[in-house]
Chain A
């Protein structure tokens, strides 16, 4: 009887701790939040000469990937150009895609840049810069597949990269039970090759890289895209100073041809 009591008490204590923690977690941002609109930007913008910490998931060619020990890709180069404009040193953190927004929200990273699409749900958690590139959600299938257009997806097993827009859209459109989410796009494509899923829905550019990298596997990208979307940079909601700086930098970099140049370099 005493043992049971101890067990119950343990559980209660733990629950209480969790609630207490929430209390702290809940009250901490209380002094900071500036109600939407006022935008005084109380969170400190990174000082000149400081660091601009960018979170990404370097498994997403050609937007971000690893080249030896270094990062490369469209997002990485644009981020470098932005950091240059702002007089900051760019520091890249490679994290899981699903952890980027949480990290930006909690202030762990200054910005998140990972071929990220603006969605209503994400806008509740972070601010987004203006769009710097357009993304297309493509469908990869094996040669001879009976999937010929996005209309044929229903009833098939769809592979996606976890927490990407492809994952979210497919779960909404075709139901959770038909969507298998993998940690990386490469894993999803590997599962397609071995027949564990019937198709992979993923951004067009990485899709091209994956198909090119697996020439022998007989993969192809369907001509009709699944969805079109705008990529943007995620920034902490409170950090309106940085948001304005980045938007200004994006505008200048687009105007002087830097960004179109970077995109053309990777997507020919």
Chain B
């Protein structure tokens, strides 16, 4: 039972002594807060970007023929969105986080807030492409059918395209959620005590690698397994409408 005693000793040293488990709890709280609010920002901004981009993809050619300020406006919007996607997807999220903390939001002292903004803006790019991909995946015939029934562009979008696209979008969106949780692990770079940083802090005090790292890994894994189960339920329910 030698190893068991050692296990208990390690456990006590790493989590019980000095109330170190509280760091883990605080870190978990911050990780969840950052993820959820970043996702909200990501989804809201992502929908706007996706709306601009898919409208341009679907309607751009038509509008170009007609010309006018609406087309110019859309064209500029699309270019801006493209630029945004290129920058965000072309740089690591750690670098974006550091730029946000040390350069853009230089006067904001709340690290959690900075992390929410940074990860939210990062997530928006991916969410936008998920939404656009979902909308573009619906057959052009569906769109034409809507228009020939007398719906205008927006009506076709809301009554015919989006209800179908959502089935493609939701699983990928959920995936982005799961990815985002793990991505927030770099929040420690800007002095935020997230779950990973909490484990690091324990490691820095006790110098044992095993316990804090495995504990942190198990918590992440637990959350992701739970969310994956939810996703499966969701996909099952979405498939019901196919019959």
Q: Do A and B bind each other?
A: yes
Which residues of A approach B to under 8 Å, CB–CB? 3-4, 6-7, 10-11, 14-15, 18-19, 21-23, 25-27, 30, 97-99, 101-102, 105-106, 121-122, 124-126, 157, 159, 162-163, 167-168, 176, 180-183, 187, 190-191, 194-197
Query: A7 — which chain B residues lie within 8 A by C-beta?
Result: 225-226, 229
Q: A187 to B197, alpha carbons, bound, how many Å?
A: 16
Query: Known interface pairs A22-B7, A194-B102, A195-B109. Does A167 touch B204 (Cβ–Cβ under 8 Å)?
Result: yes
Q: Out of B2, B7, B204, name the residue touching A162 (CB < 8 Å).
A: B204
**B42: interface (CB < 8 Å):** no
Residue of A whose beta carbon sits closest to that of B19: A176
Please determine whether A23 and B207 come into contact, CB atoms closer than 8 angstroms.
no
Could you say which of B3, B101, B190, B229 contacts A26, with CB atoms under 8 Å apart?
Answer: B3
Residues of A within 8 A of B7 (CB): 19, 22-23, 26
Q: Is the interface of B mostly helix, strand, loop or mixed?
A: helix
**Chain B interface (Cβ < 8 Å from any Cβ of A):** 2-4, 6-7, 10, 23, 101-102, 106-109, 111, 188-191, 193, 197, 200-201, 203-210, 214, 218, 221-222, 225-226, 229, 232-233
Given contacts A14-B218, A98-B204, A194-B102, A22 and B210 within 8 Å (CB-CB): yes
Residues of chain B within 8 A of A98, CB atoms compared:
200, 203-204
Q: How far is the CB of B222 from chain A (nearest CB, A)?
A: 6
Task: Contacts A3-B233, A190-B102 given; indicate if A163 touches B200 (C-beta within 8 A).
Answer: yes
Chain B residue at smallest Cβ distance from A163: B204
Contact A21 B23 (CB under 8 A): no
Q: Which residue of B lies closest to A96 (CB)?
A: B200
Does A181 contact B191, Cβ atoms closer than 8 Å?
A: yes
Partner of A18 from the list B203, B206, B218 (CB cut-off 8 Å) is B218
- Given A3-B232, A3-B233, A7-B226, 17 more A-B residue pairs with CB atoms under 8 Å apart are A6-B229, A7-B225, A18-B218, A21-B214, A22-B10, A22-B214, A26-B7, A105-B209, A121-B205, A125-B207, A125-B208, A162-B188, A176-B193, A191-B102, A194-B102, A195-B107, A197-B109
> Which label, helix, strand, loop or mixed, suits the secondary structure of the A interface?
helix
Closest B residue to A164 using CB positions: B204
Expressed in whole angstroms, the Cα–Cα distance for A11 and B204 within the complex equals 28
Considering the complex, give the chain B residue whose CB is closest to the CB of A15: B218
Task: Name 29 A/B residue pairs within 8 A (Cβ), A-sorted.
Answer: A4-B229, A7-B225, A11-B222, A14-B221, A18-B218, A22-B214, A23-B3, A25-B210, A26-B2, A26-B6, A98-B203, A98-B204, A105-B208, A162-B204, A163-B200, A168-B205, A180-B111, A180-B191, A181-B188, A181-B201, A182-B190, A183-B188, A183-B189, A187-B191, A194-B102, A194-B107, A195-B107, A195-B109, A196-B191
Q: Which residues of B contact A26 (CB under 8 A)?
A: 2-4, 6-7, 10
- Asked if residues A22 and B232 are in contact (CB atoms below 8 Å), the reply is no
CB distance from A21 to the nearest CB of B (A): 7
Once the chains are docked, how many angstroms separate the CA of A176 from the CA of B30? 15
Cβ A194 vs Cβ B209 within 8 A: no
Q: Compute how far the CA of A108 lies from the CA of B200 in the bound complex, rounded to whole angstroms.
A: 18
B109:A196 contact, CB within 8 angstroms: yes
- Residue of A at shortest CB range from B23? A176
Residues of B within 8 A of A6 (CB): 229
Query: How far in angstroms is the closest Cβ of chain A from B188?
Result: 7
Select from chain B the residue with minimum beta-carbon distance to A100. Answer: B207
User: A24: nearest residue on chain B (CB-CB)?
Assistant: B3
Contact B218 A27 (CB under 8 A): no
Closest 6 pairs (CB-CB, A-B):
A163-B204, A26-B3, A125-B207, A180-B191, A101-B207, A98-B204
Minimum CB–CB distance for B201 against chain A, Å: 7
Cα–Cα distance between A6 and B233 once the two chains are bound (Å): 13
Most chain B beta carbons < 10 A, residue from A25, A101, A162, A196: A196
Cα distance A168–B18 when bound, in Å?
12
Contact: A27 with B3, CB < 8 Å?
yes
Closest to B226 in A: A7
A124 to B17, CA, bound (A): 14
How far in angstroms is the closest Cβ of chain B from A100?
Answer: 9
Neighbour of B207 across the interface among A121, A182, A195, CB < 8 A = A121
Chain A residues, Cβ within 8 Å of B188: 162, 181, 183
Q: List the A residue with the shortest CB-CB distance to B114.
A: A196
Determine which of B190, B203, B222, B232 lies in contact with A102 in the assembled complex, contact meaning CB atoms within 8 Å.
B203
Q: How far is the CA of A6 from the CA of B107 in the complex (A)?
A: 48
- Residues in B with CB closer than 8 Å to A97 are 204
Q: Are B207's CB and A105's CB within 8 A?
A: yes
Residues of B within 8 A of A102 (CB): 203, 207-209
Which residue of A4, A27, A197 contacts B2 across the interface (Cβ within 8 Å)?
A: A27
Cα of A176 to Cα of B191 in the assembled complex, Å: 12
Beta-carbon contact of B191 and A191 below 8 Å: yes
Cβ contact within 8 Å between A22 and B3: yes
